[in-house]
Chains A and B, each alone.
Chain A
Amino acid sequence: MTPSYLLRRLFYGLLLMLGVVVLNFLLIRLAPGDPAVVIAGEMGGADEALLAAIRADYGLDKPVLTQLGIYIGNVLQGDLGQSFFFNQPVATLIGDRIGPTILLVLCAQVLSILLGVFLGVIAARKPNGVLSGFVSVFATIGYAVPVFWTGIMLIILFASVFPIFPVEGMQSVRLRDAGFMIRALDVAHHLVLPAFTLALIYLAQYARLSRASMLEVLGSDYIRTARAKGASERSVLFKHALRNASLPILTVAGLQFGNLISGALLVETVFNWPGMGRLAFDSILRRDYPTIMGVLFFASAMVVVANLLTDLSYRLADPRLRGKS
């Protein structure tokens, strides 16, 4: 893996981000609705003079392409604009909320990969066994059920039937001033249901994928070689086979990251998690253009970074890809 390869990938990533900014900007302008009307509505009334003043104030009276140019110029300088609705810099709004979102998304990703791959490997050991059938059924259900429904069902289950996990928010009010460890445990406790809800769909997919991938790898000659040298079944499964079977799983994990972020927005809304999901939801309802674009910008940045990391880890896992670009 050469530095020049890394640089090139980074350059492509930045180019991609620029494309995303332009597309976001134009797509949002295409959507119906006038932010000036919404802002005026918040202020308690709208006559034409007030609307015109608001448009002039927010730069909405200029041609769209001019607005785009100004926006890109600002983004390049790190300025994502001022929220129409919250009346705060968008960067601040997102900065306050991106931490919880990243925490949720990463936990869900790790949970779904670890559990899913584990289930898949176990299922592949006996492809006609009970567990294998269970994984297939579970995967189909997990894939078919909408994430908000799972969330609501879990809320019902854990709010009234087994009240052992909190179903709302990220921190307990009475623990706000406790020590760091207590607060960390409190957040982890709050994280269980949203992370599990979000992980569930992807967990099922990873289980299915790794089952199929393992079955294919377990039939290959080098697995027979490993057995012939006296390797234990556990070593054959988790060392010799899984490392090879993990290549398609890695690919999908990278691609799924984007879906995971959009899933996170739904889960945050259901569990009232103080992340970017709520912010996206509110800002879309209020035609808060700068905030929507800021949220989209960060979400795409996370996807681009995730894809870059996937590509790099792919090369780490498969020596045949090293030294090629």
Chain B
Amino acid sequence: MSALLQIEDLRVTFNTRYGPVTALDSVSLSVNAGETLGVVGESGCGKSITALSVMGLIPSPPGKIAGGAIRLAGEDLTQASEARMRALRGAEMAMIFQEPMTSLNPVFTVGDQIAEAIMLHQKVSADQAFRDAVALLDRVGIPSPDRRARDYPHQLSGGMRQRVMIAMAVSCRPKVLIADEPTTALDVTVQAQIFDLLNEIQRDFGAAIILITHDMGAISEMADRVAVMYAGRVIEQGRADDVLDLPQHPYTRGLISCIPALGKGEDTLREIPGVVPPLHMLGAGCAFADRCAYRAPRCDSEKPQLQAHGHHPVACHAVEEGRI
């Protein structure tokens, strides 16, 4: 059986003042109904671009899907018309964004904004849609939803707004729910509540969730499988437990060792030295080579391919050669 959402060899390019750069390079991911796929990596590694590609929201120009396929229940979205994409967006697939403070329109009430999403895809009256919106607000745990539905976004806290975003995203029971760093802007206790809510929603609605984050803690709590991205490529992929317990790629190891542990007496935060290279400066070799402790001459001349090794696929010459 093929997966509900299957991304195959996706290549996305952007025209920049440095010329065309490749933001995503042969990215392949898949997620099944009821499953959560975690996508991790630092800022600028292509996580959000992957999500926006699925939604068909890559700003174009300058962005362009240059190759590959995105199949939702078998249908290739890269070939779909704009009208077809509009019908799918919000109905079959929905997205929760990183910034709840700015992701809601300030001049409409939150109830109206949820009702709008419902009315775009279902033949219901405005009154019915608003009542459904109130029910959804109740479902995502907003107290006195009747009253809150008539509030404007600026009258709600960040956590409440993110709940509103979730209510809006699940209003048409999408098959795929993409959550792009849904808790980054929220404080820690609210983060845990939002993750609980996403888990519940998944149980109720059976949606496939793609959780984009740079927070390994969130991955361990939420994800069934995980894909690690770096500079526009997937460099390690597998069951969440395997990747977290037995990371293979030096980058994944670095990410995991950066999780601060309580009670171990560490007083400095660890970090991976260096930064993700700008996309227009990627060379012929491994993009991580500059920051890697296991760098060898081959790493500078040849891009490692994702291939099965040990428990799960990884793209690293050092792992392949048994140097790690």
Contact = CB atoms under 8 A, between A and B. Distances in A.
Interface of A: 220-222, 224-232, 240, 243-244, 317-320
Given A221-B102, A228-B94, 7 more contacts: A221-B97, A224-B97, A224-B103, A227-B89, A230-B90, A231-B116, A319-B107
Contacts of A226: 105
A227 B90 CA distance: 9
A229 B102 contact: no
Contacts of B270: none
Nearest to B102: A221
B160 interface: no
Given A221-B97, A243-B107, A320-B152, A230 B86 contact: yes
Interface string B139-159: 000000000000010100000
A186 B120 CA distance: 45
Interface of B: 55, 57, 86-91, 94-95, 97, 99, 102-109, 116-117, 120-121, 152, 154, 165, 168
A231 B152 contact: no
B99 A221 contact: yes
A229 B120 contact: yes
Given A229-B94, A231-B120, A244 B154 contact: no
B176 to A, nearest CB: 12
Contacts of A229: 89-90, 94, 116-117, 120, 168
Nearest to A231: B120
Contact of B89 (A220, A221, A228, A243): A228
Contacts of B152: 319-320
A230 B105 contact: no
Closest 10 CB pairs of A and B: A230-B90, A229-B90, A230-B89, A229-B117, A221-B102, A222-B105, A319-B152, A221-B103, A228-B95, A230-B86
A226 B152 CA distance: 16
Contacts of A318: 106-107
Contacts of A320: 106, 152, 154
A222 B89 contact: no
A224 B109 CA distance: 17
Given A221-B97, A229-B117, A319 B87 contact: no
B117 to A, nearest CB: 4
B104 A228 contact: no
Given A230-B91, A319-B154, A225 B103 contact: yes
Nearest to A323: B155
Nearest to B168: A229
Nearest to A240: B105
Contacts of B117: 229-230
Nearest to A228: B95
B271 to A, nearest CB: 28
Contacts of B107: 243-244, 317-319
Contacts of A220: 102
A317 to B, nearest CB: 7
Contact of A228 (B90, B99, B108, B109): B90
Contacts of B97: 221, 224-225, 228
Contact of A225 (B105, B109, B120): B105
A222 B154 contact: no
A222 B106 contact: yes
A231 to B, nearest CB: 6
Nearest to B95: A228
15 contacts: A222-B102, A225-B103, A225-B104, A225-B105, A225-B168, A228-B55, A228-B90, A229-B94, A230-B86, A230-B117, A231-B120, A243-B108, A318-B106, A319-B154, A320-B106
Contacts of A222: 102-106
A236 to B, nearest CB: 10
A216 B99 CA distance: 17
A87 B56 CA distance: 74
A248 to B, nearest CB: 14
Contacts of B165: 225
A110 B88 CA distance: 39
A220 B97 CA distance: 12
Contacts of B106: 222, 244, 318-320
A227 B103 contact: no
Given A229-B120, A232-B86, A244 B55 contact: no
Q: Which residue of A225, A232, A320 has the most chain B CB atoms within 10 A of its CB atom?
A: A225
Contacts of B90: 228-231
Contacts of B103: 221-222, 224-225
Nearest to A226: B105
A221 B97 CA distance: 8
Among B87, B90, B94, B109, residue most surrounded by chain A Cβ atoms (within 10 Å): B90
Nearest to B114: A229
Contacts of A243: 105, 107-108
Given A317-B107, A319-B152, A228 B120 contact: no
A180 B88 CA distance: 54
